[in-house]
Structure 1
Amino acid sequence: MENRPDLVFYWMGLAKIGAIGALINFNLREKSLLHCVQAAQAQCVVFSEEMAPAVADISRDLPMSCSLYYMGGGQCPVVGAVSLDLLLKKSPTFTPPAPITKFTDRVFYVYTSGTTGLPKAAIFSHSRFYYMASAVHRMLGLTDQDILYDPLPLYHTAEGIIGMGQAFLWGTTVVIKKKFSASGFWDDCLKYNCTVLKVVQVWRPL
């Protein structure tokens, strides 16, 4: 799915129960998208409304054991997909027992850009997530009073791990955007009272 808080809640919730998430580029389609799902040996796919057509294109090639969960309103165009919103409304209110998860266990897969072929899955453990986010936190001297503006895609290491890691581990507020907007960049920074910007090479002219 595209950048939204729900995505973060889902893959951190999966990590809580010991499941492994796969952070897939939402721009991928057909062969590349199918490859990423298969490479992760996914047992389920959670997708949002804007990704329904892309999932519909590959759904017939997914194994029968792979469940499809749709997040959004209206009728889902993907045959066999189950409304995740309805399931969540029916879920119990008590907290289920959490399995014992080791620091070295896998937490999710992050994919390469695929410039030299199909995207390749890089393994991220709980420890790798922690140490990468912690290193940036210490290096920049961030605190829980900072507001970090980081409109990169959540499937990207710089945002999903280094950026969101500041919120999970240290309580830093992180501003995420559905899509990066050069024209709205500084307006967003002022609107959200951002104190820290994470800038990549292509944004230097800003």
Structure 2
Amino acid sequence: MIRSPFVTETQPLESQLLDAALAHVAFDGWSSATLAAAAAETGIEPALARALFPRGGVDLALAYHARGDDAMLAELAAADLSEIRFRDRIAFAVRARLEAIDDKEAVRRATTLFALPQNAAAGTGAIWQTAGKIWTALGDTDTDFNWYSKRATLSGVFSATVLFWLGDDSDGHTATWDFLDRRIDDVMQFEKAKAQIRGNKALAPLLAGPMAILSRIRAPQSRDHMPGHK
């Protein structure tokens, strides 16, 4: 079995199980049945497989998502983005994340899994972590409320783009990249409007209270406190 290049040597069994599971996801989804089949194929004891992935399919899907994040980070580390606009760096990162794992059915099954109420928090947390990794990789140094707002905004862009990508059959996914550019342009327009409002002296008295509250919000000292962190 070919081991994923995105998993460290401290996680060989998890990598083996995930690789084996991918062949079953199209038929059984991200489920306990898929985990059991992967354990049987790899020769890993079922009890050990369950210990590595306590929630079965949910943890398998999260591991698959994390693998895509790792691939994206490797792509960002290798790319020279110094000469392009910051909004284009964000677009590059999101595109790199989608191109990191091209098994649409696995992503589609994961989307269905995390749409279930009992799994929604885990799915939201995974997307939040992806957004956070993108901002960190691009050099974000905010420690105030903007730390949260940037990740929330990018999470929305990423989620919408993934859903569009799942249904996109255009050549080279050009329709998806156009969709992504439009979403980022919308965000940039929103940020421009926010800056204009903050710079409006007539609104300063009305904004004084809310801005004072927001100024007290700080980013977590450790990224382990990000929503959905496992």
TM-score, length basis structure 1: 0.29
TM-score, length basis structure 2: 0.27
